[in-house]
Structure 1
Amino acid sequence: MVLWGAIVNACAIIAGGFLGVLIPRISDRIRRTVMQGLGLSIAVLGITMAIKPANILLTIFSLVAGGVIGELFRIEDRLQQLGDWLERTVARGSKHNARMGSVAEGFVTATLVFCIGAMAILGSLDSGLRHNHDILYTKAMLDGFLAIIFASTLGIGVVFSAVPILLYEGIISLTAALISSGLGSGDLDAVIAQITAVGGVLIIGIGINILEIKRINVGNLLPAIVIAAVGMPLYHALF
């Protein structure tokens, strides 16, 4: 089922949100340790994806060219600006209605964290192309824990963020599935293998960011996925 990963992710956010409302605030030590465990798990998942058979030269080219494009268009900065704008909008609204502002703040903050990121895109693509939901399952665990933290401080509004998450990831998954149906089995297998390898490298970067080892601008590397998908058929046609 193409949408299963997105459904599991949304359910994890709902469950985590309700738990966060019911239980006391989680201590910083517990939060840090759990996030470190999740960061390690995400890095391992990325490694298992990156080592799958693929054209290593095309993988390197995709990452380099994608990084250049991402930096030129400042994708990561623009995503951050979008988040800042939404937060300012919510803050202005909360001055007029404190209760609704509180719900809106939890909703917007959680939606931004859960939607804006490479993992949601990569996981949804993997669900649509391969019907493999491992990335979204891992993201569901991460989002579920984060939902507990957010809801314990921001309230019930966090639960409602499950709706845009389901729509966002579901649309990407369905689009990827439709595109894959138009490719031959041989071409599709090659494209999936290449996207998986490039996506695995980006997932490793997300794990490194969560572990706070070094800040990697994963958002600026997202064009590498498109280059990998388009580059593999071109490579076969030329060589």
Structure 2
Amino acid sequence: MIGPIIDSGCLLAGGLAGAYSSHLVPKRIKESLPPIFGVVTLCMGMTLVNKVAAMPVVVAALLLGTLLGELFFAERLLSAIIKKLLLATRRRRDMPVDEATVLSLVTLVSAFCFGSMGIFGAVTEAITGKPDILLAKAVLDIFSGLLFGAVFGGIVGCIALPQFAVLTLCYLCGNFCAPFMTPPLLGDFTACGGVIFAATGLRMCGIRMFPVINMLPALLLAPPLSLLWQHIFGA
């Protein structure tokens, strides 16, 4: 389980370092770099979508999964939790705790904790024993942590804790599911995550505020729907 440990460690280090060195980061850098991370996230998502085995499976999983997320108000619940944490942990009175800040942090939580690159990387390491994907994500996360830590403070470093929990859970699930994950199932799962990753990138760029948290149940639906598709159509 090398990947989850290194990835979350890099985010923790980057977030804390960014919080303590925020005064050294010019305002123009804080404003100009986040969209670049969004573009990189979007491009990685588009790459993952190419792994698809059956596009109808991905479409059905995304529609049904998002419907479930909307019914249970997943993103609204996460927003409320983050806002309470901000109010409880802020050290500076000048740190804003408004809807825009909460919305930005929800986007960061979805990108760091629930991004398809992390989930797929943890599952892949469990199946193949290779942490390459999470090591690449760790490089992105340490620089992302530095930047967003300078903007939002030490709370960005704290995101490493739920991130590690999510990645560990995905790793354990990957160990359990490895015997059943055929290439088509893994391809549809990856493509579904790629779409969510692309939506996260668009959200980070400020182009469209997709409900990425509400879309996450699609990842659970993609493998069984892919299996059903293979059983019916044989492909």
Band of TM-score, shorter chain: 0.7 to 0.9
> Alpha carbons of 1:116 and 1:233: their partners in 2 closer, same or farther (altered >3 Å)?
same
Q: Aligned with 1:116: secondary structure?
A: helix
Given candidates 174, 178, 182, the residue that maps to 2:175 is: 178
Matched residue, 2:33: 34
Asked whether 1:168 is paired with 2:161, we answer no
Could you tell me how far 1:6 is from its partner in structure 2? 4.4
> Alpha carbons of 1:140 and 1:77: their partners in 2 closer, same or farther (altered >3 Å)?
farther
Asked whether 1:216 is paired with 2:213, we answer no
> Which residue type is aligned with residue 150 of structure 1?
G
Report the Cα distance in structure 1 between the residues aligned to 2:76 and 2:59, rounded to whole angstroms: 23
Could you tell me how far 1:189 is from its partner in structure 2? 1.6
> Which range is displaced more, 27-36 or 188-197?
27-36
> Within 5 Å, which residues of 2 pair with 1:78-93?
78-90=77-89
Asked whether 1:120 is paired with 2:117, we answer no
Report the Cα distance in structure 1 between the residues aligned to 2:220 and 2:163, rounded to whole angstroms: 23
Matched residue, 1:105: none
Q: Aligned with 1:213: secondary structure?
A: coil
Report the Cα distance in structure 2 between the residues aligned to 1:72 and 1:86, rounded to whole angstroms: 24
Given candidates 184, 194, 200, the residue that maps to 1:206 is: 200
Q: Aligned with 2:57: secondary structure?
A: helix
In the superposition, the TM-score normalised over structure 2's length comes to 0.76
> Within 5 Å, which residues of 2 pair with 1:1-239?
2-18=1-17, 20-22=19-21, 24-90=23-89, 116-117=109-110, 119-121=112-114, 122-131=116-125, 133-134=132-133, 137-138=136-137, 141-142=140-141, 144-150=143-149, 154=153, 159=157, 161=158, 164-165=161-162, 167-183=164-180, 187-239=181-233
Report the Cα distance in structure 2 between the residues aligned to 1:41 and 1:66, rounded to whole angstroms: 25
Report the Cα distance in structure 2 between the residues aligned to 1:116 and 1:16, rounded to whole angstroms: 13
Q: Aligned with 1:54: secondary structure?
A: coil
Could you tell me how far 1:35 is from its partner in structure 2? 1.2
Percent identical: 19
Could you tell me how far 1:71 is from its partner in structure 2? 0.9
What value does the CA root-mean-square deviation take over the aligned residues? 3.1
Is the 1:36–1:210 contact (alpha carbons within 8 Å) kept by the matching residues of 2?
yes
Runs of 4+ in 1 over 4 A off after TM superposition: 112-115
Is the 1:70–1:221 contact (alpha carbons within 8 Å) kept by the matching residues of 2?
yes
> Which residue type is aligned with residue 169 of structure 2?
I
Could you tell me how far 1:136 is from its partner in structure 2? 6.9
> Alpha carbons of 1:48 and 1:127: their partners in 2 closer, same or farther (altered >3 Å)?
same
Q: Aligned with 1:123: secondary structure?
A: helix
> Alpha carbons of 1:6 and 1:212: their partners in 2 closer, same or farther (altered >3 Å)?
farther
Could you tell me how far 1:115 is from its partner in structure 2? 7.6
Is the 1:58–1:232 contact (alpha carbons within 8 Å) kept by the matching residues of 2?
yes
Could you tell me how far 1:34 is from its partner in structure 2? 1.3
> Alpha carbons of 1:73 and 1:61: their partners in 2 closer, same or farther (altered >3 Å)?
same
Report the Cα distance in structure 1 between the residues aligned to 2:65 and 2:204, rounded to whole angstroms: 22
> Alpha carbons of 1:204 and 1:136: their partners in 2 closer, same or farther (altered >3 Å)?
farther
Gaps of 5+ in 2: 96-101, 126-130
> Which residue type is aligned with residue 116 of structure 1?
V
> Which range is displaced more, 145-154 or 3-12?
145-154
- Bigger CA radius of gyration: 1
Question: Residue by residue, what CA displacement relative to the aligned partner does 1:153-181 show, whole Å, maximum 9, x if unpaired?
Answer: 746x765x276156314422322322223
